[in-house]
Chain A
Amino acid sequence: MANLEVQNLAKSYDGKTKVLKDISFAVNNGELVSILGPSGCGKTTTLRIIAGLIPETAGQVLVNGKDITKVPVYKRNFGMVFQSYALFPHMNVFDNVAFGLKMRKLDKSAIKKRVTEMLATTGLSQLSKQFPAQLSGGQQQRVSLARALVTNPELLLMDEPLSNLDAKLRLKMREEIRDLQQKLKMTVLFVTHDQQECFAISDKVLIMKQGRIDQFDTPQNIFHHPRTEYVARFIGYDNFITVTAANRQDEHHIKVGETVLNTVEPNQDAKVLTIRPENIHLNLADASENSFTGTIMSREYLGQSFKYAIHSAIGDFQVEEARQKMRSSGEEVTLTLPAKHLHPLSE
């Protein structure tokens, strides 16, 4: 396996609109990096350029420091798992997996040995004579994975590999992919638009917005320190308080309306403050700092908790609270926004 470096990648399909604008990032050897973003932001385009399936408009792709931008797709020695699995319909499972080895002109017995091994690793030994049309979605997914891995690729690319599976299987398959990745020490680039999925299995997450990288960091850092409002919204920060330079009192204090909000992080050039709905407390016993009153407007049942929409002088808030205490609309409550959970964002 290898490390991947993407430098200043840009892409335009029609020569006018730029679908990718200056994408740069690196994936270290043995890392699983996810690209996360809404539909149409350019995830697939990025992956296809790295794979060599479509030409870039500008920029370079480097593998182990070597520029491979002009190397044709079939000489790159990558593996790829497609959303539609894209198995060869006219070949059985064994031949599907063996295809890449045949292209590399290995001798028959070596192919047989390697494919048998791979089928065992992916739990497909029983199905080797079946054709793709006879397999379930999960099984096709495994074949696709086995086909991609059998050639020991330098890099494994996956474009929303789980989105055609039902919820339960998705969870199982994502664990399997992560386990396999750790076991084989694979370098993986994984495209998804499912936030939970990518946070669960990735070493790093790359969040894209309209052809640009908005944040590239570990899941923990992104979760606790979203860089922009866009990222924050994407990962479940529902509450945003707009601030201006005039609101700033000092490094750590911002005055919004009549309330002074205290932040742990320094707030220079903050345009917005954000907090997750589950981090806001209601009616704390010692509600002094960062507290103000509001009225519950509506309630939503989430299973483990209730989610309230609360109106206050500062603005509207979404608050999630454990389900033991059920509050009803019209109720007056005190909100507390703990300083350590209140993040100033500059974009």
Chain B
Amino acid sequence: MLDRKNKTLTVISIIILALIMLPLILVVITSFNTQSSISLPITGFTLSWYSNIFQQPDFISGFESSLIVALIASISALVIGIPAVYALTRYNIHHAAWFQSFFLSPTLIPEIVIGFALYQAAVITMRIPVFIGLIVGHFLLCLPYVIRLITASMLLMDSHIEEAGWICGCSRKKGFFLIVLPNIKASIIAAFMMCFINSFNNIPVSLFMSGPSLTMLPPSILNYLQNNYDPTVSAISVLLMIFTALMMFLVEKAIGIKNITE
């Protein structure tokens, strides 16, 4: 009985995995195709689409600005979000639930609306530089991830652990860094990854906030795709996949789970 259940589960898992992996595999395959359109089967092997990426100034500068914006937005969402969650979960704050919903509210608004509203309000009306607008927009995208993930692990953590630290002679501020942060590290990493990936891949907000000297990578790709339907897009997708995986690996490595295995 259990065996049969397990088999069914395995089959379902394989199907789902295939559905996720198949498009990715196809993208990888087409990126090496000699034919100048994205098509199958492939007619030969070439790396020229990869070298073509680096001929496109939009891609290079887009990558740079996307990377910078994603890093700044993710980190500022963490820097502001974590203390906010700490306050909401540890202090007796009036209307804590209301604040919680407020911080989560960006998820309720379609991203394209956030982008447009910011463009209208910040860039056109208030004449705030586009770059700042971008950061704010991406920060808003990131914040709900931080709030949600950190709240969950904050509530899971026994508050007596922190109190034990104070009793041992550790001030509240020090305790936050020495006891609270190390114990919610896993969810900080998870939140950072979610933020970074979402910001880095975001189109709706980035689409509005662009100027003559500032384009983000996803809109650049979209733009390229409208004019040329060639495997350069596949090639850049492959590079982005590798980049994202590498990034996550490094983050995990840097502040990851080394304590437990020590």
Contact = CB atoms under 8 A, between A and B. Distances in A.
A88 B166 contact: no
Contacts of B51: none
B171 interface: yes
A343 interface: no
Interface string B248-262: 000000000001101
Interface string A47-84: 00001010000000000000000001111111110101
Interface stretch (B27-35, B54-62, B157-165, B187-195): B157-165
Interface residues of B, number: 21
A16 interface: no
A74 B260 contact: no
Contacts of A100: 168-169
Nearest to B185: A90
Nearest to B171: A74
Contacts of A46: none
A77 B167 CA distance: 7
A87 B161 contact: yes
A74 B260 CA distance: 28
A4 B161 CA distance: 25
A73 B179 contact: no
Contacts of A99: 165, 168, 170
Contacts of B165: 88, 99
B260 A82 contact: no
A184 to B, nearest CB: 18
Given A53-B163, A74-B167, A147-B164, A86 B158 contact: yes
A90 B262 CA distance: 11
A103 interface: yes
B183 interface: yes
B259 A90 contact: yes
B115 to A, nearest CB: 40
Contacts of B161: 86-89
Contact of A79 (B167, B170, B259): B167
Interface string B166-186: 111111101000010011010
Contact of A151 (B164, B166, B168, B179): B168
Interface residues of A, number: 27
A86 B163 contact: yes
Given A82-B160, A88-B161, A88-B179, A103 B259 contact: no
A74 B160 contact: no
A131 interface: yes
Contacts of A148: 167
Contacts of A151: 168-169
B160 A103 contact: no
B164 A86 contact: yes
Contacts of A79: 167
Given A86-B158, A131-B260, A74 B163 contact: no
Nearest to B172: A74
A183 interface: no
Contacts of A51: 167
A104 interface: yes
Nearest to A147: B168
A53 B162 CA distance: 11
Given A103-B170, A151-B168, 7 more contacts: A74-B166, A74-B169, A76-B167, A84-B158, A86-B163, A88-B179, A131-B260
Interface of B: 158, 160-161, 163-172, 174, 179, 182-183, 185, 259-260, 262
27 contacts: A72-B171, A73-B163, A73-B166, A73-B167, A74-B166, A74-B168, A76-B167, A77-B169, A78-B167, A79-B167, A80-B164, A82-B160, A82-B163, A84-B158, A86-B158, A86-B163, A87-B161, A87-B164, A88-B161, A88-B164, A88-B165, A99-B165, A100-B169, A103-B168, A104-B169, A151-B168, A151-B169
Instruction: Give me the 8 closest cross-chain CB pairs, A-B, nearest first.
Output: A100-B168, A103-B169, A86-B160, A86-B164, A90-B182, A73-B166, A80-B167, A82-B160
